[in-house]
Amino acid sequence: MSRRSPKGHEIFGAIFVHKGRLHLNLSAGKAGFYFRGAGAYRRDMFGFFNINKPPGPTSHDIVNQLRRRVGKGVKLGHAGTLDPFAEGVLVLCVGPGTRLAEYVQAYRKRYAAEVTLGATSTTDDPEGQISEVAGASAPSPEAVKNALGAFVGQIQQVPPAHSAVHVEGRRAYELARDGKTPRLSPRPVTIHTIELLSYDYPRLDIDVTCGAGTYIRALARDIGEALHSGAYCSTLRRTEVGPFRAEQAKAPDELDPQRHLLSPLMALESMEKITLPADQIRRLTLGQAVQLTEPRDAHELAVLDERGHLTAITSGASDGLALRPIKVFAN
């Protein structure tokens, strides 16, 4: 039996059809389901997608592609871009998970990079104008190893001219596209490890583990300068972002939003957890502090409900006996 909604939607009980799609509203709460293809996706999806980005599209292209898949009403964004020529792990934040992006961005990243020596690129990657370096010769394997070792630790790195770094209110790549040379200051970044995988001039394959804010394109450029041969990053694959690994990443076309949604707790692996009863969680959702019976030393705590679901991130008082909400996720 059907009837018409005030907006002319055909309604079957709690199910209605709009623009060829089935929708279900639950009278018991705010959550709803969005029917598309073979599955029904909750509007309050909360967590992450681990996407295996192919080379070619921008990170924003991937977000737009999957936004259509999860349906309207679900926030979606990435937690750290990959350049168009790059591939590999792209973490997408889903629903309230967008508020956890900063924790994902703080994770160590791991990359497999191919560096081409004997040439430079205006973008430090294969998409720019490539120029051979006159008189460049093949560095010895020992020279390559020494050069790589010099970049391990905290270093000062100048971002690529074609990057999203802000310069005088504009993105550096916008200035570069206008024919201007953006003045970029060196920034401290941390390279944890660089492993030499293979070297057959002009090709140099390396495995890099680094901290937030590191540009592998800039690292390739600087390696070339250290070897007096010039260099650019010719291929790049991100294999890890903290616990998000390439082996578990899903191609955009293969993603099932229901089955492949990952827990929001993956962003908080190193954060101490605490389980609180419903009445205390209720206080946190109202912006109120809660008292603990035993002190906790952690600067931040991830608060779980009795089902193990993330409901808030809190900061502790100096005595460790009170928690104040920083971010609240509970309805």
Residue 63 has phi, psi (to 5 degrees) of: -60, -45
Phi and psi torsions of 306, nearest 5°: -70, -10
**Distances 165 to 169, 186, 233, 238 between C-alpha atoms, Å:** 10, 11, 19, 20
- The amino acid occupying position 212 is A
At CA 120, angle to CA 236 and CA 191, rounded to 5?
45
d(CA 134, CA 27): 72
Q: What is the dihedral of CA 208, 235, 239, 272, to 10 degrees?
A: 60
Sign of CA dihedral 146, 151, 157, 163: positive
Indicate which residue of 61, 83, 178, 319 is catalytic: 83
Radius of gyration over alpha carbons of the chain, in Å?
24
Q: How far apart are CA 147 and CA 138, in angstroms?
A: 13
d(CA 204, CA 145): 11
Is 305 tagged catalytic?
no
Residues 6+ apart with CB under 8 A from 247: none
Provide the annotated active-site residues.
Answer: 83
